[in-house]
Amino acid sequence: MKLFIVTALFASALISCNGTNVTPTQPESDSDNNSPVETGDANTNYQPAFEGQTRAAGVTTTTAYEGVVVTESLNSPWGIVSLPDGRLLITENEGHFVIVDAENGEISEPINGIPEVDDRNQGGLLGLTLDPDFDSNRMVYWVFSERMADGNHTAVAKGRLADNEKSIENAQVIYRATPTYDGTLHYGGRIIFDKDGNLFVSTGERSDMETRAQSQDLQSALGKILRITTDGNPVAGNPFENQNDARAEIYSYGHRNPQGLAFHPETGELWSNEFGPRGGDELNIIKAGINYGWPVITYGIEYSGDVIGNPPIQQKEGMEQPVYYWDPVLSPSGMTFYTADNIPEWKNNLFITGLSSTHIARIVIENNKVVGEERILAEENQRFRDITQGNDGALYVVTQSGVLYKIDKK
C-alpha cells in the first residue's frame, strides 16, 4: 500500500511507506497570506459578477492526514458509493459494477445483469446511488449511455443487487433523456436521492453545436437537472409540470455538462458542478425552475480560443450566476460534502474531484459563498473522477486510471 502524510507543520517533503518522496498538498504560506491556489493566467479577462466568485483565498488543512492507495487495479472507474458494511460499490466505464473491500483492496468479479452501455469516448456506465432502503431491498440506481439505432442518450436504470453479489437482478431502464443523438460527449451522469425518496439526475447537452442550444429548450432533456420518481416519472410539484411546452421532469436548465450533485448537510440545498468550455467551470446551488444560462452566458471560451456569443456575455437578467467559477478549469466531476468528525476543520466542506486539473478541490463555504479553496492530492498527478464519504468517516476517491484512495486523519 502506498501512503502519504500531509501536515501544515512541515514544509519539507515527507516520506511515504514505500519510500516515495511526496510534498505537502499546499504550501504553509497560503494559510498566512490568503493568496488563491490558482496562480496561472486566466483564459479570459471577464470580470466576475461579485467579489469571491472566482479565485477565493487559499486555505491549508492543519490536521495531519494520510492518504492510502487501496488498489490500483480498477478499470476506468466512474462512480463510487459506500455499502452499509463499509465496502465500496463502484461503476467501471465499460459496463461493470465491482465491489471493493476498503480494508484490503480486494476487487470482486464483475457483476453481471447490467444493460449494455455505449462506452465510446465519454460514454459508458456512469454514476450510481443506493436506495435509501438498500438494507432491506438491495436496490441500486445508475446512469449510463444507451446506444440506439440512431445514436445514443443518457439513461437511468435500476435493479436489485443479488444476495450472492454476482449479478443485478431484474434490471430495467426507467428513464431516457431524449432526444437521441449520434454523438459521444457530454452525458452528465450523476444521480442522487433526495430526502423524499425521489431522484435527481444530471444530463449533458451533448457538446456539439447542433445540440448545445437544447440546454435552453424545455422540450428537451439535454443540459438539464431532472427530478424523477423511482419509476422514472416526473415528481409531482416539479416546476414545469403544468406547462404544455415543457417536460415535467425538468427541475433546472441551462446546463452544459453537470457531473457533480450533493446536498448541503446543514441547509439541505442541492449543489451541482458542471464543466465549462475553456474556462468557466461552475459551482451552482440548484433551484427549481431556474435557468443557469448555458450557452447564452458563460465565463469560458471555445477550445479553439473563439469567444462564445456575439458579443460574449457573462450576465443576463433571468439567468442564474454561478456561486463560483474556475478559469483555468478544474474539470469538475464527482463531489461530496464532508460530514464526519475525523477531521473537524473539514466539517461541511465540499470536496470536488478534478480531472485535467489533477487534484481534489476542498471548498470552504460560508453563507452560500466560497471563502476558501485548497488542493488535495495534487502531488499524485491523477485525473480524479468521483469521491464519497465512507461509513468510517474517511473519503474514498477513484481516478480515471483505476486507483482508489482512502483519505483520513493520520
Length of the chain: 410
For the chain, percent helix, then strand, then coil, each to nearest 5?
5, 40, 55
The residue behind cell 444476495 is 163
Q: Per the structure block, which three cell numbers stand in for 166?
A: 454476482
The three-state DSSP-derived secondary structure of 110-127 is CEECCCCCCCCCCCCEEE
What is the end-to-end Cα distance of the chain in Å, rounded? 15
C-alpha distance from residue 186 to each of 108, 123, 154, 326, 349 (Å): 29, 8, 9, 19, 27
Could you tell me the strand order of the sheet in which 350-354 lies?
332-337, 350-354, 360-366, 369-376
What is the spatial distance between Cα 57 and Cα 35, in angstroms, rounded to a whole number?
A: 5
Residues serving a catalytic function are 186
What is the spatial distance between Cα 47 and Cα 404, in angstroms, rounded to a whole number?
A: 38
Q: Cα-flanking dihedrals φ and ψ of residue 77, to 5°? A: -65, 150
Q: Is the preceding omega at residue 344 within 30 degrees of 0, hence cis?
A: no
What is the spatial distance between Cα 139 and Cα 67, in angstroms, rounded to a whole number?
A: 31
DSSP category for residue 297: B
